[in-house]
Amino acid sequence: MSCTGVKKPSSAPTCNAPHPLQTMPVTAGIFVSFFTLFVVKGYAMHHLMLDIETLDTTPSAVILSVAAIFFDPMTGELGESFTAQVSPQKPQLHRTISADTVAWWAQQSDAARKEAFSGTETLKKTLTQFSRFIQINTTDKVHVWGNGKEFDCSILEHAYSQLEMACPWDFWRTQDVRTLVTLARTLGFDPKKTRPFEGVPHLPLDDARHQARYVSDIFRSLRVIPSALENHQ
């Protein structure tokens, strides 16, 4: 399967159900003060959710596919998206394959395996297209999210470096989905588990959309914390 390139924007579904944070105890105020300042004020820059599929879990992993979608974490709106499959038949010199990851792929759905292993492009061409996608869709310094960033972000950064290509984001602007989920669980909710998955797991663009949606759920929930605290005073 060849690179399908840029997708059209879509909208995230909304939920009108009351949120657990509306009854959150005042003892969470320390978290609230920091995240209200960090999240609500001045952080509405362009955000890009990554999801990649690979044949290893180390930074040097062979890359099978790359997907990403722009999103606004304060509204849940999804923007332009990118998806591309890399040919597993074309060499990725000095990149690695693990037996455990190959065995893991054998347990995944036919749809996920078909997409992951049917690419036709070289890794260099795919990364060139991905860089161009980022450049034409954001005018700000992009904040890039990975689940976790040591996987998606680190593997792509390693590949860009190995191919002597400029990485299209600053290393200090990478964000970690897992850290945000841990914060949400500390505050008593877990949209990663409660939000229904739309699409096919391990199709990278479906995974990226899902991650962007539940990260946005967390951002919007953090935004209501000040009013929740006021109700307890």
Residue 43 has pLDDT above 70, yes or no: no
Query: What is the mean predicted confidence (pLDDT) over 1-16?
Result: 47
Q: What is the pLDDT of residue 27?
A: 41
* Rounded to 5°, angle at Cα 107 from 104 and 111: 110
Choose between 110 and 3: higher pLDDT: 110
What total of structural domains would you count in the chain? Answer: 1
Q: Residue holding tokens 């663009």?
A: 205
Q: What is the CATH number of the domain that holds 155?
A: 3.30.420.10
Check: pTM over 0.95? Answer yes or no.
Answer: no
Residue 49 pLDDT exceeds 90: yes
What would the 3-class secondary structure string for the chain be? CCCCEEECCCCCCCCCCCCHHHHCCHHHHHHHHHHHHHHHCCCCCCEEEEEEEECCCCCCECEEEEEEEEECCCCCCEEEEEEEEECCCCCCCCCECCHHHHHHHHCCCHHHHHHHCCCCECHHHHHHHHHHHHHHHCCCCCEEEECCCCCHHHHHHHHHHHCCCCCCCCHHHEEEHHHHHHHHHHCCCCHHHHCCCCCCCCCHHHHHHHHHHHHHHHHHHHHCHHHHHHCCC
pLDDT of residue 139: 67
- pLDDT at residue 32 is higher than 50: no
| Least confident window among 19-28, 129-138, 143-152 | 19-28
Calculate the average pLDDT of the chain: 82
Over residues 10-26, mean pLDDT = 47
pLDDT for the residue 225: 55
Residue 211 is predicted with a pLDDT of 96
Domain range enclosing 35: 5-230
Quick: pLDDT tens for 65-115. 999 999 999 889 999 999 999 999 999 999 999 999 999 999 999 999 999
